[in-house]
Amino acid sequence: MKTMIIGIAGGTGSGKSTFTNRLKAEFGDEIAVVYHDNYYRRQDDVPFEERKKVNYDHPDSLETDLLVEHLKKLKRGEAVECPVYDYSQHNRSDRVVRIEPRPIILAEGILLLADPKLRELIDIKIFVEADADERIIRRIMRDVKERGRDLDNIVTQYLTTVKPMHYLYVEPTRALADVIINSGKNDVAFDIVRSKIRLMLQQMKEETALQQEDKNKI
């Protein structure tokens, strides 16, 4: 099975997950999603209070080599056991999620385009951008409601690591993208990407049918 990988990057709160979830809802089982966030390194030997202070927006905080290995396996048609990150504990959990190979793999993360090994695997690179004020408001709402964080911790983390790391590592990858989208709710951009995926899926089906015909002739 031929597999295409679409990378969706952008700053925190830019709308990456919204855009990713819309595509997943549109194509269902023809798409699998892999989140770079789930590959934050284990910190079992680090006290909780110290884990709260770690710079999670620096590339070194992520086990990107493992993500590269998993994407290569998915491209080869092999299933992977994806780690699951626990945001409330600032640590990787003991759970894993099995991800089956699909024609289209969506990989999402703020630093997805910062690593050259990852970029080499990605067939279409998308960068989702949004106004900085909008991004911090969305992050506060998400982290309070979904990740069990307190407001003081969110603001401190944003000012000390998230904001400076965005301009150092995330924003520069905008120039590496094939497609730049203003907001994950941009309907025009969504229609364009959706049409591209439909075309790729149709081409894959036609190639598979031709290959099957060739086998039947032998």
Q: How far apart are CA 150 and CA 144, in angstroms?
A: 6
Q: How far apart are CA 181 and CA 194, in angstroms?
A: 13
Predicted structure pTM score? 0.88
What is the per-residue pLDDT for 218? 64
* pLDDT, tens only, 119-133: 999 999 999 997 777
Among residues 6, 102, 113, which one has the least CA distance to residue 62? Answer: 113
DSSP class of 130 = -
* pLDDT, tens only, 165-213: 989 999 999 999 999 998 788 899 999 999 999 999 999 988 888 877 7
101 and 74 Cβ atoms separated by less than 8 Å: yes
Residue 155 sits at the vertex; the CA angle it makes with 153 and 160, to the nearest 5 degrees, is: 95
Segments of the chain scoring below 70 in pLDDT: 1, 218
11 and 137 Cβ atoms separated by less than 8 Å: no
98 and 79 Cβ atoms separated by less than 8 Å: yes
What is the per-residue pLDDT for 22? 95
Residue with tokens 């910062």: 114
